[in-house]
Amino acid sequence: MKIAVIGSTMMDIVSYTDTMPQAGETRRVSGFHIASGGKGANQAIAAAKLGADVVMMTAVGDDMFGEQSLKNFRKNHIDTSLVKTAEGTSNGIATIIVEASGQNRILINPGANEKLCPADIEAAGEALAECGLFVLQLEVPLETVYAAIRFAKAHGIKVLLNPAPASRELSLEMACQCDFFVPNETELSILVDKPVDTVEQVREAAKSLVERGLTNVIVTMGSRGSLLVTAEETQLVPSLKVDAVDSTGAGDAFIGCFVDTYARTGDVLGSMQRASKYAALSVTRKGTQDSYADTEEFAAFLDA
């Protein structure tokens, strides 16, 4: 099954610090690096590193970061035929601060990502129709996300929507057309305006979405694991206990591994279990895409 990831591309500018600075405070960082990122690109890279057949549909800037993003896709064997270069526009940028606990804070300048439009979906129709699964996020315009969902439903293509960053403007009617809805617990809380302090509260919040028409809600909860909620069942998949170094991009690692496994097996729970282990491995390494293991590295981790 070919996977189309339709979404964002960023360049991550990452600083590491022992403690997050307070308002007005200047702190010296303990580490710094620049790397390719963006939720769409992250999920595409994770899936491709595990062997998935991925085509990336995104918009990059006509600057050095856009060129670097294209090279990164090709290096990871991703089909770039649907990548658009937005003239006169900078590439998307994410400024990330990671503290010693592994927690992070992120600021985003969308840049070229705002140039990915519904007309691009229509123009790529022949290529997109060859795919069996669309993977979407919310770092590109909502109308583009909706156009992709409509196209998928018209062509019998399954859709996974990662509602990140969370937006109350997201149409529930459109979300209900997706086969998988995959927020983290914070995004879930924002979308349904309910507390998610316990796993039971997460379940109740996710159940409220199922009652409103969503089919498969998968909530990623970091060290608490992931939770599948459908009309028929609730399944908790525990996370592996690891020494976390950097949690940036762990949710994208989960989704990338999930879609790779699901595309090959069609097994939802088994895909979640494998994805949970892949995400756990990613948080033991610094960086986002740099932390994603390839097939051999992941196999070694599972065998250890």
| pLDDT confidence tier of residue 286, bands split at 50, 70 and 90 | confident
Question: What pLDDT shows up at residue 104?
Answer: 82
Of 21, 17, 39, the closest CA to residue 137 belongs to: 39
Q: What is the mean pLDDT of residues 89-115?
A: 90
Q: Is 277 annotated as a binding residue?
A: no
pLDDT band at 152 (very low <50, low <70, confident <90, very high): very high
**Per-residue pLDDT tens digits for 204-233:** 999 999 999 999 999 999 989 999 999 999
Over residues 260-267, mean pLDDT: 97
Q: What is the structure's pLDDT at 304?
A: 79
Q: Does the structure show a pLDDT above 90 at 301?
A: yes
Q: What is the pLDDT of residues 246-255, one digit of tens each?
A: 888 999 999 9
Rounded Cα–Cα distance for residues 51 and 295 (Å) = 7
| Per-residue pLDDT tens digits for 113-150 | 999 999 999 999 999 999 999 999 999 999 999 999 99
Confidence tier at 244 by pLDDT (50, 70, 90): confident
DSSP classification of residue 4: E
Q: How far is CA 149 from CA 160, 227, 230, 235, in A?
A: 9, 24, 20, 26
Tell me which architecture the domain covering 3-9+39-89+113-303 has in CATH.
3-Layer(aba) Sandwich (3.40)
8 A C-beta contact, residue 106 and residue 5: no
SS3 210: helix
- Please state, in angstroms and as integers, the Cα–Cα distance from residue 240 to each residue in 65, 200, 221, following that order: 35, 20, 12
Which residue do the tokens 């196209």 mark?
A: 151
d(CA 260, CA 203): 25
Residues of the chain with pLDDT > 90: what percent?
87
pLDDT for the residue 287: 81
Which residue has tokens 């617990």?
A: 185
CA 106 → CA 58, 96, 100, 134, 197, distances in Å?
21, 5, 15, 26, 22
- Which has more pLDDT, 240 or 71? 71
- The mean pLDDT value of the chain amounts to 95
Sign of CA dihedral 242, 247, 249, 254: positive
In Å, how far are 130, 182, 235, 249, 299 from 217, measured between CA atoms?
Answer: 26, 6, 11, 20, 28
Arithmetic mean of pLDDT, 31-47: 94
Catalytic residues: 252
What are the C-alpha distances in Å from 86 to residues 68, 119, 227?
A: 14, 14, 38
Residue 225, marked binder: yes
Q: What confidence score (pLDDT) does residue 102 get? A: 77
61 labelled as ligand-binding? no
**139 labelled binding-site residue:** yes
pLDDT at 288: 86
The partner residues of 17 in beta bridges, in order of sequence, read: 99
Residue whose C-alpha is closest to residue 43's, from 80, 3, 92: 3
Which residue would you say has higher pLDDT here, 210 or 287?
210
Report the pLDDT averaged over residues 95-114. 89
Q: What is the average pLDDT across 252-280?
A: 97
As a whole number, mean pLDDT of residues 242-247 equals 87
56 is in an annotated binding site: no
* Helix, strand, coil percentages in the chain from 3-state DSSP, rounded to 5: 40, 25, 35
